[in-house]
A = this chain, B = another copy of it.
Amino acid sequence: MVVELLGAGEARVYARPADWPDVALVDTDVHITPRSIDALAGFLPARWRDYVRESGVQSLESDLYPPRSPLSAMPGTRPEDGPPGSDLDLLRAQLLDPWRTRIAVTHCVYGVDGIHNPDWAVAMARAVNDWQHAEWLAVEPRLRGSVVVAAQDPARAADEIDRVGPLPEFVQVLMPVRARAPLGSRTFWPIYEAAQRHGLALAVYAGGAAGNPVTPVGAPSYYLEEYVGLAQAFQAQVVSLVCEGVPVRFPRLPIVLVESGFTWLPALMWRLDKNWKGLRREVPWVDRLPSEVIRASVRLTAQPIDAPDPARLGDVLDRLGSDRMLMFATDYPHHQFDDPALAAPADLPPDAMARFLGGTAHETYRLGEG
């Protein structure tokens, strides 16, 4: 959290904690969004601009920040003319400047994965990519972006990656964890091949509107179940990606889990390792312990933290078996943590802390030092 509600309209800007080491900070989870769907109109071909206008589409995003539910976004992050996360000046003043952020990796999904018409989805993905490049990434050198693709049509998704992947401001390709199919599926390999070709990572984010029931046993009753269940979707996707051999076949494609939590990962690695020992004949391309594959390929943004209290976070990191997997994140402008001190695990040794705050992200996204 970077701001705190003081009174109507007021906000206090949080600064980077004074006791943090002086490393080039990388924030691996920052949300940006258009002020409205009209902001994308100029980036759509006439056919789809007309379609959006004539069919009365108001927005493709779910209402993440209802105005009367103030805790859905950090206080003070809502500009007058749009939702939280839609104003670059606010982002600079509330996040990039006070945290002295070297690089912020941004995400804008805009519901493209939920569109059933593949041609419209392809056009919207292209518009979102052109919009975020023109209005954010090309304007503010501290920002990096995520390529939105219409996985509904993997060949054209790969084309889109080939189109914008050479732009240095894009560092990853976004896929929803609640996808149409397990992400290891060969259906999606053209996307991964294109991502690797351009030195991009694959980012799997906590969301998705593909339409599968959100648990493996049908639709639950409450949003609480749906939200808690995101961790099970991430587990299924990690298992799929590993078992289908995506990290083996695309060895230069880092897999970044965004807002996945991470306390569930050690138990999953144990279970997958154990059963791989008995069933590895099914997946002969997985030639090492799945946990080794995961430690080598998977990275995770650290917010929201799903540890019970900061004191136990060290235990979780110990069980992960690697201090090169977690990456600092604020999840701006979401309202996830109450204290900047919770943004980093306590008591990390200095080199591990430096990796957490920036080193791992620099490697993952090949950010260089410039």
A binding-site residues for B, Cβ under 8 Å: 177-185, 210, 212-225, 227-229, 231-233, 235-237, 239-240, 243-244, 261, 263-264, 266-268, 270-276, 279-280, 282-283, 304, 306-308
Contact = CB atoms under 8 A, between A and B. Distances in A.
30 contacts: A179-B217, A181-B218, A182-B215, A182-B221, A182-B225, A183-B217, A185-B221, A210-B217, A212-B218, A213-B216, A214-B216, A216-B232, A216-B233, A217-B236, A221-B243, A222-B279, A222-B282, A222-B283, A224-B276, A224-B279, A225-B240, A227-B275, A228-B271, A228-B272, A229-B235, A231-B267, A263-B270, A264-B264, A270-B306, A274-B306
Given A215-B182, A227-B275, A307-B270, A220 B233 contact: no
B180 A218 contact: yes
Contact of A308 (B185, B229, B270): B270
A283 B228 CA distance: 14
B232 A236 contact: yes
Contact of A229 (B181, B224, B239, B244): B239
A239 B233 CA distance: 14
A267 B270 contact: no
B212 A224 contact: no
A271 B231 CA distance: 9
Contacts of A227: 275, 279
Closest 5 CB pairs of A and B: A215-B236, A263-B267, A232-B232, A224-B279, A264-B267
